[in-house]
Amino acid sequence: MIRNVLSIAGSDPSGGAGIQADLKAFAARGVYGMAVLTALTAQNTQGVSGVHLVPPGFVADQIRAVFADVRVDAVKIGMIANAEIADAVADVLRLHPGIPIVLDPVMVAKGGAKLLDPAAVDVLLRRLLPLATLLTPNLPEAAALLHTDVAESRREMGEQAEALRALGSVAVLVKGGHLEGDQSPDVLATEDGLSWFEAARIPTANTHGTGCTLSSALAAELAKGATLPQSVAAAKTYLAGAVTAADTLDVGSGHGPVQHFHELWTTEEGDTK
């Protein structure tokens, strides 16, 4: 049975992040993707120039419409923008317990634009985090949520993952892409302790939408019944392939997108294209 996964997030008209990246990742991981829009953005590979928020009541209406008609096997939450939208999302999702939820706390775009109202952080922690199966912050996001300095070592990453899990999530995956060095480790904190997932850093500027893509791949794997460690391992491997193939795309002049369909698109010579 093909699983159905819902993304609740913002739109990226250039296609590399947000809802567009989520739907591509869902398709690439073999699940049926659905999308509830929280915000429209004017952005490209060079940055975000504008944000238009969807009214909170209409965000809730979109979610209710999906659940009223479609079996939802997992949910990914991305850009929620402000406290009112966060509250609206929480109000509806709490009525559907038992569904895996991946919460990606999208706070700052690759180009530096803030995508989360500071007042929304409290609602995210107080209302959305307790609903989440997995929280997936990068290092700056983890630090912002904990009101502390950005982790600069594996020890600090592990400590922050455990501190975030103590706030209410079942599990936390702190992503180490911002660490210095030639490795990009992630750490998963669960009730069983810490688990590390290793990957070599891939030399490319085309990393637009990596966080959206990873969280969506994680939701897809959870929807298919994989355990948390299995989901993290599969999603991280998939993202590594997408980043490795990113330079085969020719999209924009800034931080280009990853190649979501690297396992499906090939040239006549057999190379990913």
Residues annotated as catalytic are 175, 207, 209-212
In this structure, the number of other CB atoms found within 10 A of the CB of residue 231 comes to 27
